[in-house]
Amino acid sequence: MTNEQILLTIVSSLLSGIIGVFISSLFYSRLEKRKMKIETARKMFGARHNIAGTDFKSAMNEIMIVFSDSQKVINAMENMFSVVETPPSARSEKAADEALIKLMKEMCTDIGVNYKNLPESYYLKFFTMP
């Protein structure tokens, strides 16, 4: 074996290892980001029965960071803030519900959850025991 062959073997081995680490890191980062988005959506959907509670508020505050790369989710969040900040007497009766449904749908779209067959009224329903 010549020195050129040895050098080529070493360089190709190092290069393949570096490329493998880069690709693995990229996929891991994407997977972790998706897991955070799903967890935030799960918390928000799970706590929607008590929008004044700390769990719902925590999930709403997380949306700004976790979904910061999704302009549609951020726009829906800003719209919800503007609706909530408007006095109830100055907005339509269903405006807050519609803004929340829009935000939930945008979150579902961003994380890849299919919601097409679910009626909008189900977004506001929740299970409670009498």
pLDDT digits (tens, 9 = 90+) for 76-122: 999 988 988 888 888 888 888 889 889 999 999 999 888 777 777 77
DSSP track, 85-124 = HS-GGGS-TTHHHHHHHHHHHHHHHHHT---TTS-GGGGT
pTM above 0.85, yes or no: no
